[in-house]
Structure 1
Amino acid sequence: MEGSGLITLDAAAVRAGLDYPGCIGMVREAMKTLSAGVTLQLPRSIIDLGGGRLFGQMPGALAGDDLFGAKLVSVFPEPERPSIRRHRGLVVLFDPVDGRPVCVADAEEITHIRTAAATAVATDALARRDVRNLLLIGTGSQTRTHLKALPLVRDFQHILIWGRDTEKAAGLAADAARQGLPVSAVTDLPSAVADAEVICTLTGASQPVLLGEWLRPGVHVNLVGSSVPGPVEVDGELVRRCRYIVDSRANALVAAAEFLAARQAGLVDDQHIVAEIGEVLLGRVTGRRDDTDITAYKSLGHAVQDLAAAAHLYRRSLER
């Protein structure tokens, strides 16, 4: 709805207006312009409210004289499932001419969609062209969105879901299969990893669930679930073995938990970060050198990804 020149977009409006193919294209450009220095963002700042509760602020400005703003998000544990943390918040946009706030959009829904879109962009840039087997580790909302985004960039013939909650994994697989996707649930994670050519970690795990020794040559891994120092989904051996590519070098050096743990253990140093994904997309750095490389993409989330998605929704609202 619109009032006093301020457009507000709730979760339903975000879902209706932000399609996956369009969001993949927007995220790809946001990653390129950030690495090119055209768009601007500051490192995220996080206030620890205690009890596992966090409040994050992520400001940024889109390319040129475009919209600017910030993502404001709370990350709170769910009372009935303390290991699962839910992100809620707002993306706020300001007009670049007179500084008016012009749009407020639901950040949780934008985050769900654009995170999966960013994984799809990285997979398209880093995974082998002939991959057919996808493994999703986790059973939360990001698993559902990645099921929608990743088949848009590769023709997967087999999609496996593994989760600590086997019933939930089976339910997700059944839902996806009813929608025509070749999805099934698995309980033997090492065996699933051995067969996988693209893997996504989408968990709330605090300790590694995916080990580097399990990986086959040529696999691509997307590390998505952990976005703050501390909880790690994968071990240091995985970080050591892979060509480690990030969405933001500045953010990764302070917030990529598995990288920080591997660095503290003496397995890697800061130069182990090969590139930002935007540098790969711009052709400045080679992501995958050959079919035997193990590549990994660390997703922490760009503020400019959220701003680009919100700007797209805002302009579509103005057109209507």
Structure 2
Amino acid sequence: MLHLDADALGRALPPRALVEALRGMFKAGADAPLRHHHTLPSRDDERPGTLLLMPAWQAAGQGYIGVKVATVFPDNPGRRDLSAVTALYYLAEGGSGRPLALIDGTLLTRLRTAAASALGADYLARPDAETLLVVGTGALAPHFIRHHAAVRDYRTVLVWGRDPAKAAAVAEGVTPDLPAGTTVSAVPDLREGMAAADVISCVTSASTAVVPGADLRPGQHLDMAGGFTPLMRETDDEAMRRSRVFIDTEGALVECGDLVDPLKAGVITRDDIQGDLFQLTRGERPGRGRADEITIFKSVGTALEDLAGAALAYETVSA
């Protein structure tokens, strides 16, 4: 059985290859039950932790079986200098259950989350998009920049966060991984960054809206991947009113505040959801229509994405 640590996994999953693996998996389909959430005890002055169990499998004899075991402790980065999300992934052979690999699930989660957002942008961002704004400076931010840059030829990448020093560090750290000539820098003012951006990608743990919908301009694409509970929001109701809204899977409708709140309040209805990644990859729903429309893509993640990434890594290393 293979053991892939973070270094080996990173080498096995180049951004464009992972985006295409997710495209193929969504198009083909796999069984991925809604993840199990279990609240974990924490200190009185910290937010509760979460245990996530995420299985997925393909048809017998045609693919793989996998399960991710993950923990989420939101206060880890500030209190212990640890990742908020830590995980381990187990991959087995479809049809037999033969163990194949044990994989670093923490990096796998970050990579597939970024790849799913980039896949959504490939259908929804304008083909001529030149400027990317990443909102957030946590562990996901560099991966989102690399993966979004794999589907669009950005000339400029901007990074905004509440801590300017962290934004500058993200920009400096990711610059060597981007094509020569790409300008990467921190932007001190969020609205300034929004005014310049063609694509805005949010990777925060915010509980109240960060991106004001009133400031979105025609033709922009807003990607949100940070919020994964009904108590988390990265944008407001106005953004939802003004945009064509897409999701990664049906889970987004019940798991994130950016959709749960406006649906509950009647700001949007279920019929306003334009499609998901299954429908986009299969050509069942159109992506971007007009050049001047505002699009939103909200993702919460699915075990199908983990399975796609783990399978690609296993096949790459085993070749």
- Normalised to the residue count of structure 2, the TM-score between the two structures is 0.91
Q: CA deviation at 1:82?
A: 5.9
Pick from 111, 119, 129 the counterpart of residue 127 of structure 2.
129
In structure 2, the partner of 1:313 is 313
SS at match of 2:73: strand
Shifted more, 40-49 versus 73-82: the winner is 73-82
| Superposition map of 1:174-185 within 5 A | 174-177=172-175, 180=180, 181-185=182-186
- 1:79-158 aligned at under 5 Å gives the runs 79=76, 81=78, 86-158=84-156
Which secondary structure state, in structure 2, belongs to the residue aligned with residue 129 of structure 1?
Answer: coil
| CA distance in structure 2 between the partners assigned to 1:258 and 1:201 by the alignment | 12
Answer whether contact 1:236 1:259 (CA < 8 A) is retained.
Answer: no
Given the two structures, how large is their TM-score scaled by the length of structure 1? 0.91
Given that 1:31 and 1:247 are in contact with CA atoms closer than 8 Å, whether structure 2 keeps it comes out as: no
Change beyond 3 A, Cα 1:94–1:45? same
Partner of 1:53: 49
Alignment equivalent of 1:7, drawn from 2, 5, 18: 2
> Per the alignment, do residues 144 and 262 of structure 1 end up closer, same or farther by CA in structure 2, a change over 3 Å counting?
same
Aligned to 1:291: 291
- Residue 3 of structure 1 aligns with which residue? none
Q: 1:150 & 1:40 partners in 2: Cα distance?
A: 27
Unaligned runs of 5+ in 1: 1-5
Q: Provide Cα deviations, 1:185-244, integer angstroms capped at 9, x if missing partner.
A: 112111221221100001111111101101001111111111122111111211222111
Gaps of 5+ in 2: 43-47
**What's the offset of the Cα at 1:126?**
0.7
CA distance in 1, matches of 2:260, 2:116: 22
Displacement of 1:80? 5.8
Mapped contact 2:201–2:222 kept (Cα < 8 A): yes
Q: Structure 1 residues 109, 79: CA separation in 2 closer, same or farther (over 3 Å shift)?
A: closer
Distance in structure 2 (CA, Å) of the matches to 1:80 and 1:301: 21
Superposition deviation, residue 102 in structure 1: 2.3
Q: Which residue number corresponds to residue 15 of structure 2?
A: 20
- List per-residue Cα deviations over 1:32-66 (Å, max 9, x = no partner): 223xxxx1110111001133200011111135631
Identity %: 33
Deviations 1:158-178 (A, max 9, x none): 211110011111222233445
Partner deviation per Cα, 1:74-122 (whole Å, 9 max, x = no partner): 0113446269961111111222232233221111111111111112111
Q: SS of the counterpart of 1:253?
A: helix
* Cα distance between partner residues in 2 of 1:309 and 1:106: 11
Counterpart of 1:30 in structure 2 is 25
Matched residues in 2 for 1:214 and 1:225: separation? 20
| Alignment match, 1:192 | 193
Question: Are residues 268 and 53 of structure 1, via their aligned partners in 2, closer, same or farther at CA, if it must alter by over 3 Å?
Answer: same
Partner Cα separation in structure 2 for residue 42 and residue 115 of structure 1: 18
Assess, with a 3 A threshold, how the Cα gap between structure 1 residues 172 and 24 changes in structure 2: closer, same or farther: same
Whole-angstrom distance in 1 between the partners of 2:40 and 2:11? 33
Count of residues in correspondence between the two structures: 309
Asked if structure 2 preserves the Cα contact closer than 8 Å seen for 1:162 and 1:187, the reply is yes
2:8 aligned counterpart, secondary structure: helix
Quick one: distance in 1 between partners of 2:280 and 2:136? 27
1:155 Cα deviation from its structure 2 partner: 1.4
How do residues 254-273 of structure 1 correspond to structure 2 at under 5 angstroms?
254-273=254-273
Secondary structure, aligned partner of 1:15: helix
Matched, 1:62 2:63: no
The Cα RMSD (Å) is: 1.9
- 1:238 is matched with 239
Is 1:235–1:258's contact at 8 Å kept on the other side of the alignment? yes
SS in 2 for 1:110: helix
Indicate conservation of the 8 Å contact 1:219/1:293, yes or no.
yes
Q: Does 1:42 align with 2:43?
A: no
Letter of the 1:53 counterpart = G
